[in-house]
């Protein structure tokens, strides 16, 4: 059974970032169509799910990869924004982030060191901060 599936999937595209998105969108639309009893959402759900499966089983790997690349390029700003938020949230646990008063450069200072003098690496302004 597993071998049959592997043989069936060989040469087919499979799931990618864009495929995950269309699947999640499909499931979300399905849930919304249940909540609002909406025809539009249930059509959207089916379109997304069918399109997702079409891409997963597609043999035109190059075209699917190009679609995924377009998707990644178009969502680059949004994805990097989320990545930055996640990153700064994890940094905030260990560091204070201060802005240099003269050049607005962000400076990272480890927490729990008491009152320290901070020197801006960009413009060499010094200022006192509690860490």
Q: Contact residues for Zn ion (CB under 5 A)? A: 100, 103, 105, 120, 122-123, 125
Q: Which is nearer to Zn ion, 66 or 97 (CB)?
A: 97
CB of 118: closest distance to Zn ion in angstroms? 10
Which lies closer to Zn ion via its Cβ, residue 58 or residue 105?
A: 105
**Residue 131 and residue 127: Cα distance in Å, rounded?**
12
What SS3 string covers 63-125? Answer: HHHHHHHHHHHHCHHHHHHHHHHHHHHHHHCCEEEEECCCCCCEEEEECCCCEEEEECCCCCC
**Nearest-10 crossing angle of helices 17-36, 39-56:** 160
Minimum CB–partner distance for residue 123 and Zn ion (Å): 3
In the complex, minimum distance from the CB of residue 107 to Zn ion, in angstroms, rounded to a whole number: 8
Q: What is the CA radius of gyration of the chain?
A: 24
Q: Which is nearer to Zn ion, 38 or 105 (CB)?
A: 105
Look at residues 118, 108, 107, 115 and name the one whose alpha carbon lies nearest to residue 131: 115
Nearest approach in angstroms of CB 85 to Zn ion is 24
Between 9 and 123, whose beta carbon lies closer to Zn ion? 123
């Amino acid at each position: 059974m597993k071998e049959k599936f592997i043989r069936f999937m060989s040469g087919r595209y499979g799931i990618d970032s864009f495929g995950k998105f269309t699947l999640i969108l499909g499931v979300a639309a399905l849930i919304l169509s249940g909540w609002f009893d909406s025809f539009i959402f249930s059509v959207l759900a089916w379109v997304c799910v069918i399109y997702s499966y079409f891409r997963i089983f597609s043999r035109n790997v190059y075209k699917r990869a190009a679609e995924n690349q377009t998707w990644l390029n178009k969502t680059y700003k949004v994805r990097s924004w989320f990545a930055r938020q996640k990153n700064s949230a994890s940094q905030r646990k260990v560091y204070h982030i201060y802005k240099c008063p003269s050049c607005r450069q962000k400076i990272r200072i480890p927490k729990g060191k008491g009152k320290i003098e901070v020197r801006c690496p960009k413009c060499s302004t010094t200022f006192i901060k509690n860490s």
